[in-house]
Amino acid sequence: MFATFETGDLTTYPQRLETLLDKQRHAIDRLARQASPTYASLMKPLQDLDEERALFFTPLEHLHSVADAPDVRTAYEACLPLLSAFDSWLYRHRALYDQIASLHSDDPEAARVLNDTVRDFRLAGVDLDAEARERLTQIDRQLSEQSNAFETHLLDATQAHEWILDRPEDVAGMPLADREAARIETPEGIRYRFSLQMPSYTAYMTYGPNRALRRELYQAYTTRAPENGTVIDRLLALREEKARLLGFDHYAHYALQTRDAETVETVESFLEQLLTSARPQAEREMARLKAYALETDGIETLAPWDVAYYSERLKKELYAYDAALTRPYFPLERVVSGLFAWLTEWFGIAFEPIEVPVWHPSVRVWQLTEADRIVGRIYLDLETRPTKHGGAWMHNWESRFVDQAGRTHAPSAFVVANFAAATPTVPSLLRHDDVVTLFHEMGHAIHHLFSRTHERAVSGIHGVAWDAVEFPSQFLEHFAYEATILKRFGFHYQTGEPIPETLLETLHRARNFQAALGILRQVELALFDLQLHQKSYRGDAVHALLERIRERTALLPPPEWNRFEHGFSHIFAGGYAAGYYSYKWAEVFSADAFHASHDPHRGFEADRARTYREHILSRGASSPMRTLYQNWLGHAPRLESLMRLYAIGVSDA
């Protein structure tokens, strides 16, 4: 029913992929030569071929992210041009396009697939002449190679730094779990190792008492991978050329063709509204932080490497909140089991642990069942490792759909994070922020796994507009602040005592601490991304653009040597080019939905949970997300709901 996770001999992986792609080319050519094609005879087989490619390549793609090694990297990099060439060939196959464009279906899902497929062929350049199509093929290959180079440079630079601390005073006052994670035994005695990897870097920037060392870490982190400056120039030039070949004024215009927002002007107006609404409160938040650092430690000039450290201390003073206090109550395994139990209660799908082949001993797997039927599978890889890319994400593998033979396929997905790894004496303990991250990624996962569509192209997250796909993930994370839900798994890992009510109340009160500053940071990145993809920025002009935007958004400007953009993998390696605004755009959906669904006693209002699954999770991209949302709640998402969620304009919290 499910594929087995395996890659086989990595040295032959590219050759095996090439064999598969050649076989598919012949199959597609045959499909395109049909005399009288129908949806069933053309689109169903094409989607089956899509699934076949995903089943083969996803394991290697996934390994490259979670278990990077020379043999994995070599195989992965050899496969990228093969896949790029295949996609270029497929979406510029004129005979195939003409067959698809001639089809019609009265089935809503099938009609949606046809509409999106025709659009995607046109955006790929099927209507261009042969010379332009060939140039687009070259551009797509180079874009793939440059994005991979960006991520590789960043990973290598992150792994190249570490600090070995031998003075106890340099870790004095840090949470026990963070000290234990950094603790190493050497012939000279106990030492503490910190690096630029998460959560090590975050731990020292938040709790590390040595200001000079915080500056050293910050400088190393924000100047990583200087060679990515050249990669950025190449990516921007290629994207601009691609957009112009396809008849668009700039890459942002091209990218928005498949988005909910539709126009650059709409996005810019949205971001300006956020900036205008949040800036006054953000100024008060920054003034309070500067005053606190001055009063407590005589810091006359607050620096960027001080922000996390003093923010954590100020938060503790204002709300009697210490993030370290929550960690003993959130052991990873208990959090996962509690989250699954909650999802089972609200959505009627159970999670049962199983043993299947995985890529690392710490990976755990569950099968999803409903009414004694197996309906999905999820893999969790949640602890940090040196060979794993930073951050957290959900990666879909298999999809839920009905194939051309009438067989129903079940979906599977990977959820990956970089939470503190267990030690011989302490299990993996989560900060509350980590719990929120886990809920977020599970929101993505259930969007994919709970799909009940019959067409693969609109199943789960397939086909969902990039600026709406974050809605289900952000929606679920809002519930990670609800006491009634946290009580399900909040028990001390040593004593078994439940998390205190006072701590839960504090968590809720502290939720919007520096919320306006957070919004300004997101607006800064979104404006930089959007404007970067509207003109021909190269070299120093890229950083100069970011500096100009920071004049309006950064209330504590970073040093001149900060080169954040060299690590901005979201837009240079992660698919968010001209789309970083999506996080805030989707958050309007999630905030509005949360206010409509919240039950103060049970967390999720029962009927809303049922209809959320029915109207949103099960429908994938069978209709635009805005339409699904309207059908669910009877109104469009409202910006004021986001302001209400963050208490913007309500208080200085």
Q: State which amino acid sits at residue 452.
A: R
Catalytic (active site) residue 470: no
Q: What is the pTM of this model?
A: 0.89
CB 154, CB 567: distance < 8 Å:
yes
Tell me whether residue 594 is exposed, middle or buried, using C-beta atoms within 10 angstroms of its C-beta: 0 to 12, 13 to 18, 19 or more.
Answer: buried
CA distance 449 to 388: 24
CA 179 distance to own-chain centroid: 28
Helices (H), 186-319: 200-207, 211-222, 228-245, 251-255, 264-297, 304-319
**Residue ranges of the chain whose pLDDT lies below 50:** 651-653
User: Which pLDDT value is given to residue 425?
Assistant: 87
CA distance 241 to 244: 5
Tokens at 187, concatenated? 């012939």
Domain ranges of the chain: 10-91+93-127, 161-222, 328-513
In eight-state DSSP terms, residue 509 is: H
Active-site residue among 109, 285, 312, 441?
441
Tokens at 322, concatenated? 């210490």
Question: How many CB atoms sit inside 10 A of residue 276's CB?
Answer: 10
Residue 633 in 3-state DSSP? helix
Tokens 């940071």 sit on residue: 521
Q: 116: part of which helix (H) or strand (E)? A: helix 108-123
Fold designation for 328-513: Neurolysin; domain 3 (1.10.1370)
Q: Which pLDDT tens digit goes with each residue over 181-239?
A: 899 999 999 999 999 998 899 999 999 999 999 999 999 999 999 999 999 999 999 99
> Following DSSP, what letter does each residue of 591-640 receive, concatenated?
HHHHHHHEETTTEE-HHHHHHHHHHTGGGTTSS-HHHHHHHHHSS---HH
Tokens at 419, concatenated? 């939470």
User: Which pLDDT value is given to residue 390?
Assistant: 84
In eight-state DSSP terms, residue 429 is: B
User: Which pLDDT value is given to residue 611?
Assistant: 95
User: Which pLDDT value is given to residue 653?
Assistant: 37
Tokens at 22, concatenated? 């050649």
Tell me whether residue 640 is exposed, middle or buried, using C-beta atoms within 10 angstroms of its C-beta: 0 to 12, 13 to 18, 19 or more.
Answer: middle
Nearest in space to 28 (alpha carbons), one of 40, 53, 51, 46 = 46
Q: Which pLDDT tens digit goes with each residue over 241-274?
A: 999 999 999 999 999 999 999 899 999 999 999 9
